[in-house]
Amino acid sequence: MIPTAPSHLSSAPALPWFRNQFPLALAPMAGVTDSVFRRLCKRLGADLLITEFVSAEGILHRNQRTRDMIAFLPEERPLGVQLFGADPAALADAARAVCDWVQPDFIDLNFGCPVNKVVCKNGGSALLRDQPLLARVARAVVHASPVPVTAKIRLGWDTASINAPANARLLAAEGIQAIAVHGRTKEQGYTGTADWDRIGQVVSAVSIPVIGNGDLDSPATVLQRRQQTGVAGAMFGRAAMASPWIFAQVRAALLGQPIPPDPTWAERWAFIRQHCRLEVQERGNETAVMTAMRARLMAYTRGHPGGKHLREQLQHIRTLAELDAIAAQHLATLPADTHPKEGQPAST
């Protein structure tokens, strides 16, 4: 039986994004989903955006780094700010402060991060094995927030303690209005294969929308997982990092329209260049930005012909001019206007 909502729940409006549609969400990823990348994904068809996770402590101190991480433009709506922590009162205060500060469309609670520096502070996935604390955190934030509250979870701490359906029921009972489920345990991190049968069990356990996350790398996979589990939406993480055009491709598949082909190599480089240029415009220091973008460039060039040599070059990049030179050199080795599947075999 699905628990009824207790009397302490806030009067925040219900989420409208699941009415008559299957929303495509960009997963919150530390060091990845900043405002520039979120806007690019939005233009490609992402429906829901979420900031990088920020700590309740950072919000309450209102430091500049936290301010930058939760800043967004109107075109990014609907957008949620993701919070993590383990102190119910601090998280409630942080939710109030965020809503007063930037007026997001929803607050998202991070109960899924497997990174040890978060877990060791009893945040992220650590709360999956402490259900009383999980409930207190959700209850405090729902009560404090004037906007809807959602949550992201994993299947459990490890394979011996998979408890996602129970945790989902608990969160729904506390007023969480939607749950994203990554189909791996904390112990798995990002290894192995996402277990979509378990995600389907969460869908069956609650009446609120469940968004599926994990190994969604093609339109066909999304359609298959939707039919298999009945999820109400899909969330993309690593696939969006490497191929953000997946949003446009999946949306076309959902609508029964022709699926846009993967960009040509030249189009990919143009997109990469646009992303880097926008980051430089946003932050101002070209060398610092391009140095910080190195890891992103590794993801973007995954599967490119001559990938190993490309990564060796990109590890030292410092300017847009250097990026242009690398792109020109790479494209000169390929047939003009070819798509990835038409060009040379990709090397890793």
Residues that are catalytic: 113
CA distances from 302 to 26, 268, 305 (A): 19, 11, 9
* CA–CA distance, 47 with 16 (Å, rounded to integer): 12
Instruction: For tokens 């000169």, name the residue.
Output: 332
Q: Which residues pair with 79 in a beta bridge?
A: 49
Retrieve residue 319's tokens: 């300017």
DSSP 57-107: HHHHHT-HHHHHHH---GGG-SEEEEEE-S-HHHHHHHHHHHHHHT--SEE
Cβ contact 153:111 at 8 Å: yes
Q: What's the CA angle centered on 163, arms 30 and 144, to 5 degrees? A: 60
